[in-house]
Chains A and B, each alone.
Chain A
Amino acid sequence: MSTTASPRKKSAPVVAEWQLRLYVAGRTAKSEAALANLKLICEHHLAGRYSIEIIDLLVNPKLAAGDQILAVPTLVRKFPTPIRKIIGDLSNKERVLVGLNLLPLAAAKA
């Protein structure tokens, strides 16, 4: 699985099992909240198996088109495929887990 490394040079040098990308636009309250929430969830569920890349669109606006980013903050699960996107400040933990396919939908609702 990990042999098919991402061709992107920007991705982490050590190919992690979970590659996450968080798109933000500047350091807003929402983006800070999203990053904090994300770190919390990852440490809890994916400890040691993930990499997070933070892309500030204000710095790199042309990267927005690549992942079809509209809303910020947006969390993109680049790997494992399929690509999933979670928009919002990730305050609803269950939905994030569902979105990342870490939790079946039924469990989230329960």
Chain B
Amino acid sequence: MAQTRAKKDAAPAPQLKKTPTGINGLDEITEGGLPQGRPTLVCGAAGCGKTMLAAEFIVRGAVEYGEPGVFMMFEESTQELVDNMRSLGFDLEKLQRQRKLALDYVHVDRAQIQETGEYDLEGLFIRLAYAIDSIGARRVVLDTIEALFAGLPNQAILRAELRRLFQWLKDKGVTAVITGERGEGSLTRYGLEEYVADCVILLDHRIIDQVSTRRLRIVKYRGSSHGTNEYPFLIGSHGVSVLPITSLRLDHKVTDKRLGTGIPGLDEMFGGKGVYKGSSILVSGSPGTGKSSVAASFVHAACLRGERALLFAYEESDSQVLRNMRSIGLDLAPWVRKGLLQIHASRPTLHGLEQHLVLMYDLVRQFKPSVVAVDPISNLSNQHDDVGLKFTLMRLIDFLKQQGVTAMFTSLTADATGPVAASEVGVSSLMDTWLLLTNLAYNGERTRTLQVLKSRGMYHSNQVREFIFSDNGVDLVDVYLSGERVLTGTARIAQVAQELAARQLRGTDHERRMRDLANRRRALDAQIAALNAEADERAGEVQFAIEREKFEAEGTAARAREIAAASGRQKSDRVAGRNGVKSARAAR
């Protein structure tokens, strides 16, 4: 018994025990959360979101993981924090009433304090212990404990006491988050990283091209692997979202299910079944080739199937999208009213690229759409180099694939005359299906064409189709190949008319020829009848002649027999006369 227990105890804990933060993305980077029962330092410059991160750690712990938390603040007052967090939808007062959260505002006013002789910070310990014990807290936040350095002049005592505090927190077994202001040349202004060395998270807030981006990096994490890159994060309307770049793996499940694109002609080009569910589609083309309409058809089709769709519009406002799509017979407004469709319109310059991405993550997570359309992605790259966009999109595509969301991205190419791939944002290789929309200018007319440049894992037509707008949405028609030219638009219609006329002409000609043939046949039939009659006549004559000849021959033969018989009778008459007499006599 004891042995087995010993064995069980000896069974190695494969991983450091971790406390999930519940913060979007942070648990992925830290591979499970913050080190359980140990303090974690969150440092960064003013306004980069330290308090927000710490508060969300506490709130998520209390709400989602059933771990009550203590939030001890040194800078903000309790009411300020409650108000600030309410704007993110966290009701701290309610949590306090439910005894899931204890708030304690430690105010240190240097002006009030006179120092004389020996002291320690037992008062702080007692307050913290009281708060922890009163609700059975598993999580503790100290925000920002460095404020003590400003309030208490004796740094020697303070440092010794902080060291004792962190050790005490470890002994208590609570998972603690300590925030610290970033200092010159060091992680924190007062060197807190000396004491809190298990896990250090650095937050950063920087401006690139007038667009601000918050970034998060795990500087160290003792006893655990973790993502080491800088990850963009966003403080959105639902708290902090961190965006892992590399921790996402390429291991999404795929399905054989297909779904229609909303354009019957296009589905036909994919063997009549549309595209794979969960795949990503790139629609590229120069201005005015109908990219937005393809995207709108795509979401419209999803809504028709009763699925949820999410449309990110970076060029038009949502009402403009609705109006413009109504003009080609795609009425999206009912879907919006039903809640099947969400149109999220914003200017690309509103946020940095990463923040856009985080926003998309958040929306996709909340709304759980079946399809997502982004119109266009190329606009997002205006402020960034293409490399950034590619990485961002890679993350977005991977994320969508893991969620099983079918995504359509439109991309504006500079000019149709340029090389097709060169003007792409370098994302075509990430896409499963690539549709190219081009304008054909010919004969004083511009027409739209569509072709499938690639579509992974399925049959797809390699023909160019003409892309038309009608009152019933968009559709494709086969283009006409006439000689070496592809005919589209009016030229195609003219060609259709021409061919129709030619077909009619041919039809008339055929009819005439059939009539001729029938006439000829009738004439021949008459001739055949005449000849047959003649033949019959001949046959009759021949038979008659034969009969006559037979008759004559018989007559001759008869005569010959008669003659022969006559001569014979005379002789025999004589013989018979004698014999006859004799016999007559005898008879008598």
Of the stretches B47-55, B117-125, B327-335, B564-572, the one at the interface is: B117-125
Task: State in angstroms the CA–CA spacing of A36 and B168 once bound together.
Answer: 30
Choose, from B126-134, B349-357, B367-375, the stretch at the interface.
B126-134
In the assembled complex, A15 has its CB within 8 A of some CB on chain B: no
Question: A90 CA to B116 CA in the complex, in Å?
Answer: 5
Query: Which residues of the other chain, B, contact A95 by a CB distance below 8 angstroms?
Result: 114-116
The interface bits of chain A over 75-106 (1 if a CB of B lies within 8 angstroms of the residue's CB, else 0) are 00000001111111111100110110000000
> Is B15 engaged at the interface, CB distance under 8 Å to the other chain?
no
Contact among A64, A70, A88 for B118, CB-based, below 8 A:
A88
Q: Is A69 an interface residue (CB 8 A)?
A: yes
Residues of B within 8 A of A72 (CB): 119-123, 126
Quick check: B126 and A85 within 8 Å, CB to CB?
no
Number of interface residues of B (CB under 8 A): 25
With A70-B123, A72-B123 as known contacts, state yes or no: A89 contacts B117, CB within 8 Å.
yes
Q: Are A89 and B116 in contact (CB under 8 A)?
A: yes
Q: Is B148 an interface residue (CB 8 A)?
A: yes
The reply to whether A64 and B126 contact each other, CB–CB distance below 8 Å, is: yes
Return chain A residues, CB-CB under 8 Å to B124: 70-71
How many Å lie between the Cα of A88 and that of B116 in the bound state?
A: 5
> Does A25 sit within 8 A of B, measured CB to CB?
yes
Number of interchain pairs (Cβ within 8 Å): 99
Residues of A within 8 A of B119 (CB): 30, 71-74, 87-89
Nearest chain B CB to A66 CB, angstrom units = 10
What are 10 A-B contacts defined by CB distance under 8 Å?
A: A57-B123, A61-B127, A70-B124, A71-B124, A72-B122, A84-B112, A86-B113, A86-B116, A87-B115, A88-B119
Give the interface of A toward B (CB within 8 A).
23, 25, 30, 33-34, 37, 57-58, 61-62, 64-65, 68-74, 82-92, 95-96, 98-99
Q: Which A residues touch B123, using CB under 8 A?
A: 23, 25, 57, 64, 69-72, 74
| Chain A CB within 8 A of B108 CB | yes
> Which listed residue, B107, B108, B117, B152, touches A91 by the CB 8 Å rule?
B117
A99 contacts B116, CB within 8 Å? yes
Verify if B104 is at the interface (C-beta below 8 Å from A): yes
Residue in B108, B117, B130 whose CB lies within 8 Å of A70: B108
Q: Report A92 CB to chain B, min CB distance, Å.
A: 4
Residue of B nearest to A25 (CB): B122
How many angstroms between the C-alpha atoms of A34 and B118 in the bound complex?
A: 9
Contact of B148 among A68, A70, A99 (CB under 8 A): A70
Question: Is B126 a contact of A88 with CB atoms below 8 Å?
Answer: no
The answer to whether B118 touches A86, judged by C-beta atoms less than 8 angstroms apart, is no
Residue of B nearest to A69 (CB): B123
B106 within 8 A of A: yes
* A-B complex: 8 closest residue pairs judged by Cβ atoms: A99-B114, A88-B117, A91-B117, A61-B130, A89-B117, A69-B123, A95-B116, A25-B122
Q: State how many angstroms separate the Cβ of B156 from the closest Cβ of chain A.
A: 13
CB <8 Å contact, A71 and B117:
no
Which residue of B is nearest A62, CB measured? B130
In angstroms, Cα B121 to Cα A82, docked, is: 23
CB–CB B130/A64 < 8 A: yes
Known: A65-B104, A68-B107. A85 touches B116 (CB 8 A): no
Q: Which A residues are CB-close (under 8 A) to B130?
A: 61-62, 64
Distance (whole angstroms) from the CB of B362 to the closest CB of chain A: 37
Inter-chain contact A61/B126, CB cutoff 8 Å = yes
Complex CA distance for A83 and B148, rounded to whole angstroms: 19
